[in-house]
Amino acid sequence: MLSFEEKKNIFDQYTELEAHPVSMGRINYHFPASVREKKIVVNHLHPNGNAFIYAPFLDDADKNGFVNVREATEAELKELLSGSISFLSTDGDEFEEGYEEAFRDAYRTVLILRYENKMWAIYADDHLEAIFPSREAADSYLMDEGFQ
Protein backbone atom coordinates (compact mmCIF):
# COMPACT_ATOMS: atom_id res chain seq x y z
CA MET A 1 0.00 0.00 0.00
CA LEU A 2 1.27 3.46 -0.89
CA SER A 3 1.64 5.92 1.97
CA PHE A 4 -0.13 9.25 2.32
CA GLU A 5 2.98 11.08 1.09
CA GLU A 6 3.43 8.79 -1.91
CA LYS A 7 -0.20 9.24 -2.96
CA LYS A 8 -0.01 12.98 -2.35
CA ASN A 9 3.10 13.20 -4.57
CA ILE A 10 1.26 11.33 -7.35
CA PHE A 11 -1.81 13.57 -7.07
CA ASP A 12 0.38 16.70 -7.00
CA GLN A 13 1.89 15.71 -10.38
CA TYR A 14 -1.47 16.54 -11.98
CA THR A 15 -1.13 20.30 -12.36
CA GLU A 16 -4.76 20.58 -13.50
CA LEU A 17 -5.84 19.54 -9.99
CA GLU A 18 -5.99 21.86 -6.99
CA ALA A 19 -5.39 20.58 -3.46
CA HIS A 20 -7.95 21.69 -0.86
CA PRO A 21 -7.23 20.78 2.78
CA VAL A 22 -10.30 19.58 4.69
CA SER A 23 -10.82 18.40 8.27
CA MET A 24 -8.64 15.87 10.15
CA GLY A 25 -5.58 16.40 7.93
CA ARG A 26 -7.38 15.14 4.83
CA ILE A 27 -7.00 16.66 1.35
CA ASN A 28 -9.45 16.86 -1.55
CA TYR A 29 -8.25 17.47 -5.10
CA HIS A 30 -10.53 19.54 -7.32
CA PHE A 31 -10.58 19.80 -11.11
CA PRO A 32 -11.71 23.42 -11.68
CA ALA A 33 -11.88 22.98 -15.47
CA SER A 34 -14.62 20.33 -15.15
CA VAL A 35 -17.47 20.88 -17.61
CA ARG A 36 -19.74 18.79 -15.40
CA GLU A 37 -21.30 19.73 -12.11
CA LYS A 38 -18.81 17.54 -10.21
CA LYS A 39 -15.37 19.05 -9.49
CA ILE A 40 -13.83 16.73 -6.85
CA VAL A 41 -11.50 14.11 -8.36
CA VAL A 42 -9.83 12.89 -5.15
CA ASN A 43 -11.98 12.82 -2.05
CA HIS A 44 -10.53 12.69 1.47
CA LEU A 45 -6.92 11.64 0.99
CA HIS A 46 -6.40 10.66 4.63
CA PRO A 47 -3.10 10.59 6.55
CA ASN A 48 -3.57 6.79 6.87
CA GLY A 49 -3.31 6.53 3.04
CA ASN A 50 -6.98 5.96 2.34
CA ALA A 51 -8.69 8.00 -0.41
CA PHE A 52 -11.46 7.91 -2.99
CA ILE A 53 -11.23 8.82 -6.68
CA TYR A 54 -14.24 9.90 -8.74
CA ALA A 55 -14.80 7.22 -11.39
CA PRO A 56 -18.55 6.87 -12.08
CA PHE A 57 -17.73 4.99 -15.29
CA LEU A 58 -16.56 1.95 -13.26
CA ASP A 59 -18.94 -0.80 -12.13
CA ASP A 60 -17.51 -0.87 -8.60
CA ALA A 61 -18.01 2.88 -7.98
CA ASP A 62 -20.24 3.74 -5.03
CA LYS A 63 -23.56 5.59 -5.40
CA ASN A 64 -21.67 8.91 -5.54
CA GLY A 65 -19.30 7.67 -8.24
CA PHE A 66 -16.19 7.17 -6.09
CA VAL A 67 -13.89 4.15 -5.78
CA ASN A 68 -11.67 3.39 -2.80
CA VAL A 69 -7.96 3.51 -3.64
CA ARG A 70 -6.44 2.48 -0.31
CA GLU A 71 -4.67 -0.53 -1.89
CA ALA A 72 -4.14 0.96 -5.37
CA THR A 73 -0.73 0.91 -7.02
CA GLU A 74 0.87 3.98 -8.57
CA ALA A 75 -0.12 2.79 -12.05
CA GLU A 76 -3.73 2.21 -10.94
CA LEU A 77 -3.91 5.66 -9.35
CA LYS A 78 -2.61 7.32 -12.50
CA GLU A 79 -5.06 5.38 -14.67
CA LEU A 80 -7.98 6.36 -12.43
CA LEU A 81 -6.91 10.00 -12.26
CA SER A 82 -6.54 10.23 -16.03
CA GLY A 83 -9.92 8.57 -16.51
CA SER A 84 -11.60 10.88 -14.03
CA ILE A 85 -10.12 14.03 -15.58
CA SER A 86 -11.06 12.82 -19.05
CA PHE A 87 -14.62 12.07 -17.90
CA LEU A 88 -14.98 15.50 -16.25
CA SER A 89 -13.57 17.21 -19.35
CA THR A 90 -16.57 16.20 -21.47
CA ASP A 91 -20.24 16.98 -21.02
CA GLY A 92 -21.28 13.43 -21.79
CA ASP A 93 -22.85 14.23 -25.13
CA GLU A 94 -22.09 11.74 -27.88
CA PHE A 95 -22.73 14.39 -30.50
CA GLU A 96 -21.19 17.79 -31.05
CA GLU A 97 -23.30 20.90 -31.41
CA GLY A 98 -24.36 21.24 -35.05
CA TYR A 99 -24.03 17.54 -35.91
CA GLU A 100 -26.55 16.67 -38.63
CA GLU A 101 -27.80 13.86 -40.84
CA ALA A 102 -30.06 13.83 -43.89
CA PHE A 103 -33.05 11.48 -44.16
CA ARG A 104 -35.09 10.70 -47.29
CA ASP A 105 -38.51 9.19 -47.82
CA ALA A 106 -39.83 7.22 -50.81
CA TYR A 107 -40.62 10.51 -52.60
CA ARG A 108 -37.03 11.73 -52.14
CA THR A 109 -38.16 14.41 -49.71
CA VAL A 110 -35.23 15.34 -47.50
CA LEU A 111 -35.40 16.13 -43.79
CA ILE A 112 -32.36 17.23 -41.81
CA LEU A 113 -31.87 15.98 -38.25
CA ARG A 114 -29.61 18.42 -36.37
CA TYR A 115 -28.28 18.39 -32.79
CA GLU A 116 -28.75 21.88 -31.28
CA ASN A 117 -28.77 23.08 -27.68
CA LYS A 118 -28.83 19.48 -26.42
CA MET A 119 -32.01 18.82 -28.43
CA TRP A 120 -32.73 17.08 -31.75
CA ALA A 121 -34.33 19.34 -34.35
CA ILE A 122 -35.84 18.19 -37.64
CA TYR A 123 -35.82 20.65 -40.53
CA ALA A 124 -37.61 20.60 -43.87
CA ASP A 125 -35.54 23.00 -45.96
CA ASP A 126 -34.79 25.76 -43.45
CA HIS A 127 -38.08 25.39 -41.57
CA LEU A 128 -38.23 23.71 -38.19
CA GLU A 129 -40.64 20.79 -38.40
CA ALA A 130 -40.19 19.14 -34.99
CA ILE A 131 -37.91 19.07 -31.97
CA PHE A 132 -37.18 16.20 -29.58
CA PRO A 133 -35.29 15.79 -26.29
CA SER A 134 -33.60 12.54 -27.38
CA ARG A 135 -32.12 10.99 -30.49
CA GLU A 136 -34.35 7.95 -30.01
CA ALA A 137 -37.53 10.07 -30.09
CA ALA A 138 -36.36 11.89 -33.24
CA ASP A 139 -35.44 8.59 -34.94
CA SER A 140 -38.85 7.15 -34.04
CA TYR A 141 -40.61 10.18 -35.54
CA LEU A 142 -38.57 9.93 -38.75
CA MET A 143 -39.28 6.20 -39.05
CA ASP A 144 -43.02 6.72 -38.43
CA GLU A 145 -43.04 9.33 -41.21
CA GLY A 146 -41.28 6.96 -43.61
CA PHE A 147 -37.81 8.50 -43.59
CA GLN A 148 -34.61 6.49 -43.65
Q: Using one digit for the tens of pLDDT, what is the confidence trace for 104-142?
A: 999 999 999 999 988 999 999 989 999 999 899 999 999
Query: What is the domain count for the chain?
Result: 2
Tell me, yes or no, whether 45 and 78 share the same domain.
yes
- Give the whole-angstrom CA distance, residue 53 versus residue 128: 44
pLDDT value of residue 118: 85
Determine, yes or no, domain membership for 95: no
**Full residue range of the structural domain in which residue 132 is found:** 100-144
Closest CA to 78 of 19, 2, 15, 11: 11
State whether 82 and 37 are in the same domain: yes
Residue 133 lies in a domain: yes
The rounded distance, in Å, linking the Cα atoms of 9 and 25 is 16
Q: Is residue 94 part of a domain?
A: no
pLDDT at site 21: 98
Among 62, 88, 114, identify where a domain stops.
88
Average pLDDT, the chain: 94
pLDDT 10s digits, 9-36: 999 999 999 999 999 999 999 999 999 9
**Is this prediction's pTM over 0.85?**
no
Phi, psi (deg, nearest 5) at residue 96: -85, 150
Please indicate, yes or no, whether residues 14 and 79 belong to a single structural domain of this protein: yes
Q: Quick one: 77 and 115 in the same domain?
A: no
